Amino acid sequence: MAEGPELAGPLTGGEASGAGWRLSDESATPKLLAYESFEAAGAVQRHLGVGFGAAATNGAGALVCGVRPDEWLLLGERTGSLPGVTGVVTVDLTHGLALFRLSGPAAPEVLAAVCSIDTAEAMFPDGAVCGASVARVACSLVRNDVAGERSYLMVSPRSSGRYLFESVRDAGARQPPDRAPSAPARPGTAPPN
Amino acid sequence: MSPQRLPARPGEVIDRRRPLSFTWNGRALSGFAGDTIVSALAASGCRVFSRSMKYHRPRGILTADYWDPNTLVQVGDEPNVRGGHRLLEAHMAASAQNAWPSLRWDAKTLTALGGRALSAGFYYKTFMRPRWLWPTYEKVLARFAPGGVIDPESAPRRHDKRYAHPDVVVAGGGPAGLAAAAAAGQAGAAVMLVEHEHAVGGHLRWDGASGRAAASELAEAARAAGVEILTDATVAGRWEDNWLAIVERAAGGGPERLIKARAKVLVVAAGLIERPYVFAGNDRPGVMLSQGARRLANLWAVRPGSRAVVFSANAAGDAAAADLEAAGVAVEHVDARTGRTVTAAEGRRNALERVVLSDGSRLEADLLVTAAGWTAPTSLLNMAGVRPCYDPTAARFFPAEPGVSEAGAVLSTGGISGDGTLEAHVSHGEATGRLAAARAATLAHRLRVATAWAAPVNGPEPPLVPDERTPLGRHRHPALFCSSTDGMVDFSEDVSSRDLRNAAAEGFDSVELVKRWTTATMGSAQGKLETVNTVAVLAEATGSTISEVGTTTWRPPFAPVTLGALAGRPFEPVRVSSLHDLHVAAGMAPISAGQWIRPEHYGEPQAEVRNVRANVGIIDVSPLGKLDIQGPDATDLLSLLYLNKWRRLAVGSVRYGVMCAEDGVILDDGVTGRLGEDHYLMSTTSSGAGAVEVWIQNWLQTEHPDWRVRVTPVTDAFTSINVAGPRSRTLLERLTDDVDLSPEAFKYMQVRRGTVAGVASCVMWRIGFTGELSYELHVPAGHGPHVWSALLAAGGDLGVAPFGLEAQRVMRLEKGHFIVGQDTDALTKAPTAGLEWLIKLDKEDFCGLPELRWALDGEPGGAPEALQRLVAVQPTDPAYVPPEACQIVAAGPGGTERIIGRITSSRYSPTLERSICLAQVEADHPGAGTQLTVVDVSGRRHRATVMADHAHFDPEGGRLRG
């Protein structure tokens, strides 16, 4: 039997955008949490090839995110197969987690209104993962650029998803165009001539 | 053209093509875009802007900038607006503060008649006695409170927050700050420059054509280097590791914003602030500082007077004299460097008429400009641990160790660090910027190694670059603080040099004590104008040197910050289940339960109870905490956490458990189902979900890291629906075809996994918090709305209807089920709740075992602990529902009463048609039939009876197990 008749994200069809940023709801993406093996220390990390604080796409197209030293979140996969590795616990969290993508050149500015993480290229490059408070919601934050465009994934508990989406959307809406990083300096910042 | 407005001048910041109309105390006036409130008023001929705080003396412009203590005004519903800084806006309604009935005729001036008696400490000394009169004193004094008026009906203002992680923050956009920012940016650092004024350039903005050109060039270099420039913004505070609070004051029409910046290096380039000179009448309108006069004339094309005396001890004063002459003001130059000083400013009413000099001469004037010296605003450096150090040669304070603090992460440049030509300041600023960038690179490397695991950090850590800057010089400056006459030291607080000397004479010989006794330096300027003069007067009064007196401690904020800015944009997370929209559509009355928004009811909770008892109801219980527990040692974990035993729980069964902390106090409760040999699903209370997860992780990570068990919070993975009522089985049978729901196959306290309404992987528990036959469905959350709707659609003929939290609470109370946190508290041990049957003292170990053993068995040879008991109570009057938390009392000695317990839960039961309660009572009052006295909030007594069982309804549990 198929799993069910419908699979709805917390904000079905949710989409918001502004000058230089776009927020989309990707909560329907399958999500699998995998723990390190009880029996063979390091086996899961070797199999996944991703360490804590980093993310990379595996051969099956899933984004493997090292969210804890011994935990991985596989985005795009719900039945993890770790051939040859025993003592592994996996939990399908497809329904338990909301997933939002904030992208665009102004995405760091929008994020800076709700999150204290340093998103500078050197500190948080493409493929970086960290735990973060976003608008006071505990999230996993993943830098996951798409076609060279800045993009951040925010993974939160599903029940907080709607609030999180609205908070980030509101932060984007509050971004004055003249405060965007690429904008020219505001009038009045120049000394008189 | 207004009377004091000068013809167009090079460098003016007003836009004469954009006139703006506004009102001042109801009078219509006009200014130009680019004017401040004060410059527009001064251009209109206004000389008095406020009345002083204590004596209500008329006050005019002193500094014509943010720090001006004399020009705080009310703008619309906003009090205490800094008129010297706030830009004029069209239709602005400005008015004077602290005057009644008008600024010109202020009745409160009468307080000045008692000025000698109103010295520092007057309030402390006068209103101490008689103590019983204090409430009256307080009411009267409140009418004299200074400041503007708050309108509680005002619409809330917008505030915002932002985080930033620049490599370098430069505080101050004068020449040195701009040079430092540009150099740091050119060296590759991410730089944020924060300028207090509306434009960068510092004093160069009003310093002639060459100054303006230099400022323009420096600003352009900074912009070209990618520096983020914030104007009308202040670095308000600095804490450990350069955690900076930066306030952007509603720039660009946006909200006031608090920026929380973690800078790797902070460069303090706050410049110098001119300090007043103390003499008789120094607060008379018409007496102003040289920088104020220059700003008025050069930035806003305002003639500050027509006949001026310029008292100058430095080049800035000389330049002010030249600027005023160029503006058509007749100037008499008094050179302080020759030893001549000012001893008094005299006049009538609110105007200056003459200046008295130390040689006895009197000069007619309507404007007295003083240039007596500088204060280095070292606050941000002080917050980094750098003490200010007085240099008598330069007659000002300097940072004690410029460039050395907190591993080199705080630097200073510009006037705060020393004197020199513009070129010298720029050169020092550039060197500082390069040093800051280099040190930021070292600190950034450390941060990347420590936290940025996604990318390899190449190479060794760059060495921390030593400070090899050529220090700025220190120019000689006359030590001018106080004349031979007394005058105002703190204009904000009306503290005079006489007040300070009196304080010293009374024994307040420490500057910290003098500050608190007189309130000097505690006003709106926060010591920027007053500190050095306060110290100097105190030094003279105590026979000390200024170095010996030292300064007060400068703490954040550097400049006053609105409470709105500190509050910023509130983030208050809200959680909703996947059924939220359906609840809203069904007309739920919402209730906040922690972060969750839940349906309290859908219209009539009593009817919801009756429907569940008679038919079937469904309730959204998604907030129930749920933990997925897997691994070979999962059973050991449960045995450790719970009071009861778990090893023999069969797969397919669920068991109720209670957790206690080490002290035996109840922590949480819930049921846990065994889904597989090494796989459990644990439920917790809704409010305890987070705490239980932390509790478990704490045990696993600190005491049993060797256990092979993984605990995953899955609260949000499931939409949890309780289907309750005598017809619940019938309803579920219509939607389930792969689980046998017959009483024989699916018994009370069992768990099954199956398909509900076409949704696979549902977990079904047969449990009953309501006391009814019921099934708790845990449905993959994304399918929750489908299953909820299917249940309602399939059970129309069965009378199915949703019920809310209130109905559930009534039914659980009818059944006598307690709620952790409501019927228990931080002292409630498991036996109090009647859980002796659950406590298995013969287990090897569990959390709380020693305490509970002692509570149940007592010490060897002793008696059990006399714990309170949770009992069911029914008021004698069946219609009376005592409010929760009502006290229960019993007769005490001597006709008194003593508290023996409290009502913990109470409701009216529609099933029993009477009031029902749970209560905690002392150990010797729990017997069935015991009569209790309940005291309600109005003090009335009500009789109530202790029941034999916790359950008021169906104590045998026949409905539950049916």
* CA dist list (Å): B273 to A141, B387, B416, B826: 45, 18, 9, 56
Extended strands (E) in B195-232: 228-230
pLDDT in tens, B730-772: 999 999 989 999 999 999 999 999 999 999 999 999 998 999 9
pLDDT in tens, B467-480: 999 999 999 999 99
Question: Bridge partners of B617?
Answer: B724, B801
pLDDT of residue A180: 42
Question: Taking the domain B308-370, which CATH number applies?
Answer: 3.50.50.60
Place of tokens 């995110």: A65
Query: Which whole-number Å values give the CA distances from A47 to A43, A50, A61, in the listed order?
Result: 6, 8, 15
CB contact under 8 A, A157 and B716: yes
In the predicted structure, residue B817 carries a pLDDT above the cut 50:
yes
Q: What is the pLDDT of residue A189?
A: 46
CATH of domain B580-815: 3.30.1360.120
CA distance B470 to B432: 10
Burial B486-503 (b: 16+ CB within 10 A, else e): bbbbbbbbbbbbbbbbbb
Count Cα atoms within 13 angstroms, Cβ side, for B301.
20
Q: Do B219 and A124 count as a contact with CB atoms less than 8 A apart?
A: no
List the domain boundaries for chain A.
Answer: 13-28+95-175, 30-93
Token output for B666: 């109840």
Cα-flanking dihedrals φ and ψ of residue B699, to 5°? -65, -45
Measured between CA atoms, the residue of chain A closest to residue B216 is: A191
pTM recorded for the entire structure: 0.89
Taking only the tens place, the pLDDT of each residue in A171-187 is: 999 876 554 443 333 43
- Chain A hits for B595, CB-CB cut-off 8 Å, are 160
User: What is the per-residue pLDDT for B149?
Assistant: 86
Which residues pair with residue B390 across a beta bridge?
B397
- Give the start-to-end residue ranges of the domains of chain B: 161-272+378-450, 308-370, 481-559, 580-815, 865-961
Nearest to A120 among B190, B205, B758 (CB): B190
Taking the CA of residue B783 and the nearest CA in chain A, the distance in Å comes to 6
Q: Does B576 touch chain A (CB under 8 A)?
A: yes
Q: What is the pLDDT of residue A6?
A: 52
Tens of pLDDT, residues B764-775: 999 989 999 999
Residue-level pLDDT at A188 = 42
Residue percentage of chain B with pLDDT more than 90:
82
Q: Are B233 and B194 in contact (CB under 8 A)?
A: yes
Each residue's pLDDT tens digit, B827-872:
999 999 989 999 999 999 999 999 999 888 887 777 777 889 999 9
- pLDDT given for residue B574 in this prediction: 96
Our CA angle for A192, B4, B5, nearest 5°, is: 35
Give the pair of three-digit tokens for residue B438: 């280099």
pLDDT tens by residue, B260-277: 999 999 999 999 999 999
For residue A51, the chain B residues in CB contact (below 8 A) are 453
Residue B931 burial (C-beta neighbours within 10 Å; 0-12, 13-18, 19+):
exposed
Residues in chain A with CB shorter than 8 Å from the CB of B571 are 114, 135-136, 167
Whether residues B575 and A160 touch (CB distance < 8 A) is answered with: yes
CA distance, residue A35 to nearest chain B CA (Å) = 8
In this complex, do B212 and A192 lie within 8 Å of one another by their Cβ atoms?
yes
Average pLDDT over residues B56-69: 95
Q: Compute the average pLDDT of residues B633-649.
A: 97
What mean pLDDT value characterizes chain B?
93
Terminal-residue alpha carbon distance, chain B: 94
DSSP class of residue B337 equals: G
CA-nearest residue to A28 within chain B is: B782
Residues in chain A: 193
Condensed to tens digits (0 to 9), the pLDDT of residues A23-47 reads 999 999 999 999 999 998 899 999 9
Model pLDDT, residue B368: 98
Residue from B806, B667, B721, B741 nearest B962 by CA: B741
User: For the segment B504-514, what is each residue's pLDDT rounded down to a tens digit?
Assistant: 999 998 999 99
Give the mean pLDDT of B638-658.
97
* Residue for token pair 């002796």: B836
Shortest CA distance to B294 belongs to which of B198, B199, B396, B370?
B370
Q: How confident is the model at residue B567 (pLDDT cuts 50, 70, 90)?
A: confident
Please list the alpha-helical segments (H only) found in B860-927.
Answer: none
Q: Which of B171-175, B192-196, B515-519 has the lowest mean pLDDT?
A: B515-519
B718 and A CB contact within 8 Å: yes
CATH 1.10.10.1100 fits B481-559, yes or no: yes
Fold (topology level) of B161-272+378-450? FAD/NAD(P)-binding domain (3.50.50)
Contact residues, chain B, for A169 at CB < 8 Å: none
Q: Is the pLDDT of residue B286 over 90?
A: yes
pLDDT over threshold 60, residue B294: yes
Look at residue B421 and tell me whether its pLDDT is greater than 80: yes
Q: How confident is the model at residue B405 (pLDDT cuts 50, 70, 90)?
A: low
Of chain B, the percentage scoring pLDDT greater than 70 comes to: 98
Residue A191's pLDDT is what? 46
User: In which element (H, E) is residue B566 found?
Assistant: helix B563-567
The whole-angstrom distance between A62's CA and the closest CA on chain B is: 17
B571 closest CB neighbour out of A51, A125, A135: A135
CB B493 within 8 A of CB B519: yes
User: What are phi and psi for residue B622, nearest 5 degrees?
Assistant: -55, -35
Is B589 near chain A, with CB under 8 Å? no
What's the CATH architecture for B865-961?
A: Beta Barrel (2.40)
Contact B11 A127 (CB under 8 A): no
Q: How many CB pairs under 8 A join A and B?
A: 208
Q: Which site among A35, A159, A178, A179 would you substitute to test the B interface, given the most B Cβ atoms closer than 10 Å to its Cβ? A: A159
- Decide if B250 touches A, using CB distance below 8 A: no
* Tokens standing for residue B837: 């049957």
Place of tokens 């983020």: B228
CATH classification number, A13-28+95-175, choose in 3.40.50.300, 3.40.50.150, 3.30.1360.120, 3.40.190.290: 3.30.1360.120
Interface residue B445 vs chain A (CB under 8 A) = no
Gyration radius from chain B CA atoms: 38
Q: State how far residue A180 is from chain B, nearest Cα, in angstroms.
A: 10
Q: For the residues B537-549, what does the mean pLDDT come to? A: 96
Q: Give the model confidence (pLDDT) of B333-377 as tens digits.
A: 999 999 999 999 999 878 899 999 999 999 999 999 999 999 999
Any idea of the CA torsion for B658, B660, B665, B668, to the nearest 10 degrees? -50
Instruction: Say whether pLDDT at B95 is over 60.
Output: yes
